[in-house]
Amino acid sequence: MASVSMTVNGREVSGDVEGRMLLSSFLRDDLRLTGTHVGCDTSQCGACVVHVNGEAVKACTMFAVEADGAEVATIEGEANADGSLSVIQQAFQDHHGLQCGFCTSGMVMSAAALLKENPKPSETEVREYLEGNICRCTGYHNIVKAIMAASGQDVAAIAAE
């Protein structure tokens, strides 16, 4: 057992964890932040994407002890301080960028990381950036559209609804 402490969504947290505890398990099981999802065991689906020190990482592919001292941001911390949806979250709702919601936390966290790096991505850039985020429901159309809209681009011209 090792003790870890980190900041999660601005809040100081700590705990005693086994070496093998994944960051995703620490968030979900110990902190009960179940918005971070686990959709695979081969690090490919991206349902678990969170930010560690501002960078998108797969929480299922990082040990909790490696986040000791880090700033971690999860979907639960994405909304604005007053509880209203962030620009990206709002764009996902406005453009129907989610259906079952299971991939959504990871999608939003990846989108946030993308827009920080590249405030006005092209369609191709958005699609390439989402390489590690699999969605089985939406066919990606409305996800890509939502992210482009969140970046302030006019998406009205994008093919039908």
Partner 1 sequence: MYAFDIERPSTIADAVAALQGEDAQALGGGQTLIPTLKQRLAAPSKLVSLSGIGEMQGVCVGDDGAVCIGGATTHATVSREAAAHYPGLAALASHIGDPAVRNRGTIGGSLANNDPAACYPAAALASGATIVTNNREIAADDYFQGMFSTALDEGEVITEVRFPVPQAANYQKFLQPASRFALVGVFVAKYADGVRVAVTGASENGVFRWAEAEAALSANFAASALDGLTVDADGMIGDLHGSGTYRAHLVGVNTKRAVEAAS
Partner 2 sequence: MPKDSGIGASPKRREDLRFLTGAGKYTDDINIHGQTYVHFLRADVAHATINSIDTSAAATMPGVVHIFTGADFEAVGGIPCGWQITDRFGEPMQEPRHPVIAHGTIRHVGEIVAAVVGESLEQARDAAEAIVLDLTEKPAVVDMKAAAADGSTKVHDDLTSNICYDWGFVEENRDAVDQAIKDAAHVTTLELVNNRLVANPMEPRVAVGEYSRSDDMHTLHTTSQNPHVIRLLMGAFVLGIPEHKLRVVAPDVGGGFGTKIFHYAEEAFCTFAAKAVNRPVKWTSTRSEAFMSDAHGRDHVTKIELAMDADNNFTAVRTETYANMGAYLSTFASSVPTWLHGTLMAGNYKTPLIYVNVKAMFTNTVPVDAYRGAGRPEATFQLERVIDKAARERGVDPIALRRQNFVTEFPYATPVAVEYDTGDYEATMAKLEEIADIGGFATRRAESEAKGKLRGLGVNCYIEACGIAPSNLVGQLGARAGLYDAATVRVNATGSISVMVGAHSHGQGHETSFPQVISEMIGIPEDQIDIVHGDTSKIPFGMGTYGSRSLAVCGSAMVRAAEKVINKAKKIAAHLLEASDADIELKDGQFSVAGTDKSVAWGDVTLAAYVPHNYPLEDIEPGLEETAFYDPANFTYPAGAYACEVEVDPDTGKVTIERFSAADDFGNVINPMIVSGQVHGGIAQGVGQALLENCAYDEDGQLISASYMDYAMPRADDLPFYTVDHSCQTPCTHNPLGVKGCGEAGAIGSPPSVVNAVVDALQSGGKNVTHIDMPLTPSRVWDAMNNA
Residues binding ligand FAD (CB under 6 A): 43-44, 132
Q: What minimum distance in Å lies between the beta carbon of 128 and ligand FES?
A: 17
Using CB distances below 5 to 8 A depending on partner kind, what does residue 102 bind out of ligand FES, partner 1, ligand FAD, none? ligand FES
H runs (alpha helix) in the chain: 23-25, 87-94, 104-117, 123-129, 141-150
Count the Cβ atoms, other than its own, within 10 Å of residue 63: 18
Residue 140 engages partner 2 in binding (rule: CB under 8 A): yes
Q: What minimum distance in Å lies between the beta carbon of 15 and partner 2?
A: 16
Residue 45 engages ligand FES in binding (rule: CB under 6 A): yes
DSSP strand pairing (2-8 vs 71-73):
parallel
Q: Would you say 80 or 120 has its CB closer to partner 1?
A: 120
* Binding positions for partner 2, 68-97, rule CB under 8 A: 74-76, 78-79, 85, 89, 92-94, 96
Distance CA 150, CA 90 (A): 8
Contact 112, 88 (CB under 8 A): yes
What are residue 75's phi and psi, to 5 degrees? Answer: -55, -30
Stretch that binds partner 1, among 28-36, 123-131, 135-143, 153-161 (CB under 8 A): 123-131
Residue 35 engages ligand FES in binding (rule: CB under 6 A): no
Contact 72, 9 (CB under 8 A): yes
